Amino acid sequence: MEIRKTFHQQLEDLYLDLLKMANITVDTIEKARRAFANLDAELAREIIDGDDVVDDYVKKIDENGVEMLARQAPVAIDLRTIIVIMRLATHLERVADLCVNISKAIQNLGDYKLSPWISENIDEMFKRAVRMLVTAVESFKERDEAKAESLVEMDDTVDRINRSFLTGTDRESEEEVDLVIRVVMVARFIERIADHAVDIGEEVRYMVTGHFVT
């Protein structure tokens, strides 16, 4: 009986570590949004320097998750929960890495002035990506399959805005090729953040149903 209590405490700790990691990751996206809006190189540097915190979380979650799988031999929903927590940690780490990539691009944009069209559309992408990640984490916490499924439709708008950067940035001066390239890259990075939110939703659906999403 004591073994099961220890197991469930370990599972609770793993769960709480993931939620802490998720909160940090959402905050990091918000920081990246503000940094881009103001071309704030100092805030961009803060994001880059803070990436180790997320890396430490994913390492801790992976190590503890593997130990639980090896020592406790969980089954059914407990097994799926541990596996999904480890997978979600990996997705969150990649989201944080994308924020680092965005921050590096911001550091190279300080000499430019963003047009209202770029600023408004990138900001909209950021806000939608944040909303998607928050929804994805909520679906995990609530074991809400419908909420997880809703992420696919939410992603369509982010994809549409991202595609607009392939044509819309020709409004910029031909001399500002570096600006265009970096803005298109940033849009692509945000689009990938949204994709990770969709992937998290798919993992949640697997956790709840036991079936892989095809």
Q: What are the pLDDT digits (tens) for 22-55?
A: 999 999 999 999 999 999 999 999 999 999 999 9
Span of 86-95, 170-179, 188-197 with lowest mean pLDDT? 170-179
Span of 19-33, 110-124, 144-158, 195-209 with lowest mean pLDDT? 110-124
Average pLDDT over residues 172-198: 86
Domains belonging to the chain, first-starting first, are 2-209 (1.20.58.220)
Which residues fall within 8 angstroms of residue 174, CB to CB, at 6 or more apart?
A: none
Which residues fall within 8 angstroms of residue 113, CB to CB, at 6 or more apart?
A: none
Average pLDDT over residues 86-101: 98
Please report how many Cα atoms fall inside a 13 Å half-sphere around the Cα of residue 15, on the Cβ side: 15
**Average pLDDT over the chain, rounded to an integer:** 92
pTM over 0.75: yes
161 close to 121: Cβ distance less than 8 angstroms: yes
Span of 23-32, 73-82, 176-185 with lowest mean pLDDT? 176-185
28 close to 50: Cβ distance less than 8 angstroms: yes
Average pLDDT over residues 45-68: 96
Query: Has residue 144 got a pLDDT over 90?
Result: yes
Average pLDDT over residues 52-76: 94
CA-CA distance, 146 to 186, in Å (whole number)?
30
Long-range contacts of 65-70 (CB under 8 A, 24+ apart): 65/14, 68/7, 68/10, 68/11, 68/14
Average pLDDT over residues 10-18: 96
CA-CA distance, 57 to 61, in Å (whole number)?
6
